[in-house]
Amino acid sequence: MDHLIKEILVEEDQIRKKVAELGARITEDYRGKDLILVGILKGAVIFMSDLVRNIKIPIGMDFMAVSSYGRSATSTGEVRIIKDLDGSVENKDVIIVEDIIDTGYTLAYLTDNIRKRGARSVKVCTLLDKPERRKVDVPVDYLGFEIPDEFVIGYGLDYAEIGRNLPYVAALKEEVYNK
């Protein structure tokens, strides 16, 4: 995959430390609550699986999949549910776990959607944030790293399904996604 990568933006050990910090914060913030983490497939799977092992209180896990960019690297603003939650989130405290916030369309839609199902609270935990690209405002409660406006792969994130298994986050070479 080396020929696709411009530079590493977040190293493996930086991720490990940050995920431990986020897990510890969530542990304290949700003690005695009825917490469900909702991971957004497929990008958040690696982050979520490391995050939950750093949370030291009982939790539930569920997943949703929404329409993604496919092969193109730009957002359309359209969001469609491809796989819905298995269980109810009524009266639960939900944290949506995402890989990255770009325009914000996906998370704006998802927070609204989960609130309407009667969740007691809905917060957002994202590994990465590209604030320069934001189109709609989404409050981020738990953030891993802010990154510049680059298309990134690794630690769950892909370009046309490539790169999810890299243990770090790396910027793609421009010539790859401008083709």
For position 48 contacting ligand IMP by CB under 6 A, the verdict is: no
Which of 50, 102, 129, 158 is labelled catalytic?
A: 102
> How many Cβ atoms are within 10 Å of 46's Cβ, its own excluded?
22
What mask of x and - would describe binding to Mg ion in positions 95 to 134, judged by CB under 5 A?
Answer: ----x-----------------------------------
Q: How far apart are CA 168 and CA 156, in angstroms?
A: 9
**CA 177 and chain centroid, separation:** 21
Nearer to ligand IMP, 106 or 113 (CB): 106
149 in catalytic set: no
One residue of 75, 121, 164, 173 binding ligand IMP per CB under 6 A: 75
Regarding beta strands 81-83 and 60-66, do their DSSP bridges make them parallel or antiparallel, or are they unpaired?
A: antiparallel
CA distance 80 to 155: 24
Residues of span 106-145 touching ligand IMP by CB under 6 A? 106
The residues annotated as belonging to the active site are: 102
